[in-house]
Structure 1
Amino acid sequence: MRLAARQLSPAARWCLIVLGVTVCYFAAGQIGIQWAIVRDQISPLWPAAGVALAVPMLLGPKYWPGIFLGALLTNIALGPSLVTVLVISAGNTIGPMLAYAVMRRAGFRNQLDRLPDAVLLVVVGAAGGTAVSAALGTGVLVLDGALGTGDFCATALVWWTGDAMGVLTVTPLLLLAPRFRLPTRVSLARWAEAVALAVCALGTSILASATTAKLFLVFPVLVWAALRFRQAGAMLCVLCVCAITIFAAIHGAGPYGSYELATRMLHVQAFDATVGMTALALSTIVLQRDRATAEITDAWRQITEMVDLIAPRQSLRSAMTPPQREPDTGDELAG
């Protein structure tokens, strides 16, 4: 299979990857549509936005047509008109591509092993680029008459926060995916800890969605995940928390039932954003600490090896050099 892939022409390979991106975006969009609360297409959690930002980071910006085609296929059945769908699809493409360009220029690295990378992902990727998509999409819906002018702010808010949560929860996992390796020789205690973490994450997420007084319970679990399972464990917990709290907000359950839709979504998205930023920042700091510790350990090993090489030579030189005779103090005084 690898040999056949190498024999493909560059154009055929480009088309194949664009097709794969289109399918991935469309699949993520179908998941997001299940959560839609405005016009059956604006969702408070839009995983496709996370896919759109990850594509240029992992594959390169030349595969942007896959994002556009995926957005087009996702929105074309929802209307309201072809021109509107084209503009929305263009906004879904321009936003992540613009965020990618800014982040790359600022020195972003896919490894997410530095705190500035996490800050760039949150500020530029999750907040900046998604605002462009939300503004273009909501604006064209208002111009087309599908939305009233008075609905612009509330709709744009849900659109923007939904895209931002998609970036904050999905993009880090996709960036970590190329480095994922199946664990080997993992102790039973480690598996037991992972299962316990999953159960606690699910349980605290449900409790946090039941009453305001229990919202804080998710944060100890996030700290546990970040310290013991690094970014992968922390972001999986974030995805679990966000999905359950958004489900509760959509259905008016728990602490969100007494508010109007816009206020309800603002509260839940503020909480989810806090959860996501906390987990991402803490896990990145832990990873950065691990890297610094590994560098110090490696430097100490190199110094030890150099000392081991130098010590025998120094001992041999000392043995071959005859000791110098010290002058007799008594003879000098007599002279």
Structure 2
Amino acid sequence: MAAVVATPELRRPVVVALQTLAVAACYYAAGRLGLLRQLVVEGAVFTPIWPPTGVAVASLLIFGIRCWPGIALGALLVVLSLTSFEPSAIGIVAGNTVAPVCAYLMLRKAGFRMKLDRLRDGVALVFLGALASMLISATVGVGLLVLTGKLAADGFWTVWLGWWVGDAMGVLIVAPVLLMLYMARRPLNLSRWKEATAMTLVACVLVPLATHSPISLLFLVYPLLIWAALRFPHTGSVLCALFASVMATIAATDGAGPFARLSEVEVMMKLQAFNGSMALTALLLSAVITEQRNTRRSVELACQELVEVLEHLGNPSATPPPAADDGRRRQHGAK
């Protein structure tokens, strides 16, 4: 009996340790992936989209606060892969750990639901999970660069803006995709596979054209986002936003398409404005549409139950509807 009781107690630390290592590995892999495309502003290198922040926030929402050591370990591995160990590295790791933890705590306080099926969930992820909490990592990271003499003081705000938006974009672009994959349930609904295939083909043609054409055609992505949000809320919109952000980042770092012949600061501003507005459109529009659909289903269900109750009142000899039957049982139990 003692062995049976002790088994769960021994299993829990093993599960937590495996989760910590998995989060650290995913964080490190996302960091290496994000470093493939970089921008240089004021002599400082940063990534327009920093995927590890999305991995960190999604991991905290899925596993809880206990996975924060995995985030810290992953951040440390990323820093060590870029430079030798320095005291300032501890501060950067701390900032990159505290920011997602603050995002998780604020989202939990706001009653955030991982399904993102309400407008308040989309707004909370944008303003609390991304814009507000990532102020910490950007301020700590750029502040340490200035204090250690690696960045001139007059370049603080330009680099800070790029760092902050890059971290926020990781939350807005990557976290919704990971949450969508976690919340997906089998069997998948394939009733509209023809439309999904057509949308995929259109995206594969339209997005590269919009992001690499010498004519500024970035606005062509928005009708595609609206189509995806209307027909495939969340799934279509977040995947479309992810694909468009990646393609725009590739074009910006290569200096191609609408980003050609621009200065470093202009490239950063144009890319971050496009990615940010697109992520906001995808998240908030899909959340509004999903919330309206859920409200309509609730109203239709309530109307159906009301019709069944009225039919029963008009014909008492008929079998009472389940809702009325359950209510009657609860009344008798209360008596």
- Aligned position for 1:54: 58
Q: Does 1:202 align with 2:182?
A: no
Check the 8 A contact 2:44/2:151 in 1, yes or no.
no
Q: Does 1:136 align with 2:140?
A: yes
Q: Does 1:124 align with 2:136?
A: no
The residue identity in structure 2 corresponding to 1:207 is L
The 5 A counterparts of 1:248-327 are: 248-313=251-316
Mean Cα deviation higher: 9-18 or 282-291: 9-18
Shift of the 40–181 alpha-carbon distance from structure 1 to 2, 3 Å rule, reads farther
Mean Cα deviation higher: 165-174 or 193-202: 193-202
Q: Does 1:166 align with 2:170?
A: yes
Superimposed CA distance per residue, residues 196-252 of structure 1 (whole angstroms, 9 cap, x where no aligned partner): 211222322222222454122111111110011111110000001111111111111
Counterpart among 13, 16, 35 of residue 14 in structure 1: 16
Check the 8 A contact 1:41/1:78 in 2, yes or no.
no
Rounded Cα–Cα distance in structure 2 between residues aligned with 1:40 and 1:74 = 17
CA RMSD of aligned residues (A): 2.1
Mean Cα deviation higher: 52-61 or 203-212: 203-212
The residue identity in structure 2 corresponding to 1:313 is P
Counterpart among 240, 246, 249 of residue 249 in structure 2: 246
Check the 8 A contact 1:96/1:125 in 2, yes or no.
yes
Counterpart among 161, 168, 179 of residue 183 in structure 2: 179
- Aligned position for 2:329: none
Check the 8 A contact 2:39/2:268 in 1, yes or no.
no
The residue identity in structure 1 corresponding to 2:106 is V
Shift of 1:78: 1.2
The residue identity in structure 2 corresponding to 1:200 is V
Shift of 1:308: 3.2
- Aligned position for 1:330: none
> What SS does the aligned partner of 1:76 have?
helix
Mean Cα deviation higher: 113-122 or 146-155: 146-155
Shift of 1:66: 0.6
Rounded Cα–Cα distance in structure 2 between residues aligned with 1:142 and 1:27 = 28
Superimposed CA distance per residue, residues 93-131 of structure 1 (whole angstroms, 9 cap, x where no aligned partner): 111111221222222222211111111111122211112
- Please, what TM-score do these two structures have when normalized by structure 2? 0.86
Shift of the 87–269 alpha-carbon distance from structure 1 to 2, 3 Å rule, reads same
Shift of 1:266: 1.1
The residue identity in structure 1 corresponding to 2:197 is V
> What SS does the aligned partner of 1:31 have?
helix
- Structure 2 residues not aligned, in runs of 5+: 1-6, 319-335
Rounded Cα–Cα distance in structure 1 between residues aligned with 2:79 and 2:158 = 20
- Please, what TM-score do these two structures have when normalized by structure 1? 0.86
Rounded Cα–Cα distance in structure 2 between residues aligned with 1:229 and 1:168 = 18
- Aligned position for 1:95: 99
Query: How many pairs were matched up?
Result: 309
Rounded Cα–Cα distance in structure 2 between residues aligned with 1:297 and 1:109 = 23
Mean Cα deviation higher: 122-131 or 202-211: 202-211
Shift of 1:183: 4.7
Shift of 1:279: 1.3
Superimposed CA distance per residue, residues 150-191 of structure 1 (whole angstroms, 9 cap, x where no aligned partner): 33223222211111111111111122222213455734xx22
Q: Does 1:232 align with 2:221?
A: no
Rounded Cα–Cα distance in structure 1 between residues aligned with 2:249 and 2:100 = 23
